[in-house]
Amino acid sequence: MEKPVLEKAKNLGFPYQLQEENCWQILPKRRGATWKLISAMDSQWWILSLRNIPQLYLNSEEAIAFLATRARRL
């Protein structure tokens, strides 16, 4: 489910956008950062991409934890 992750991203101030139907992308706040989270087509997983190369599949809890960690580092 993507909604809790998008709500957390919004609360932490991360920009997000709809790329294509049911495919969301969460972007870093800081310019020059090379990561992004992309919702997988089935919406149960998020893909962590670094420099536009997919690295990890994250479930919703892991994606929220990743965002929280990134927010603390700013």
Q: Does pLDDT of 27 surpass 90? A: yes
Mean pLDDT, rounded, for 43-64: 94
- Contact between 24 and 39 under an 8 Å Cβ cutoff? The reply is yes
* pTM: predicted TM-score of the whole model, two decimal places: 0.89
Kindly write down the DSSP assignment for every residue of 31-44, as one continuous string. TT--EEEEE-TTSS
At 36-46, the pLDDT tens digits run 999 987 678 99
Side-by-side strand order, sheet with 35-39 = 16-20, 23-26, 35-39, 46-50, 53-58
- From the number of C-beta atoms within 10 Å of its C-beta (0-12, 13-18, 19+), residue 18 rates as exposed
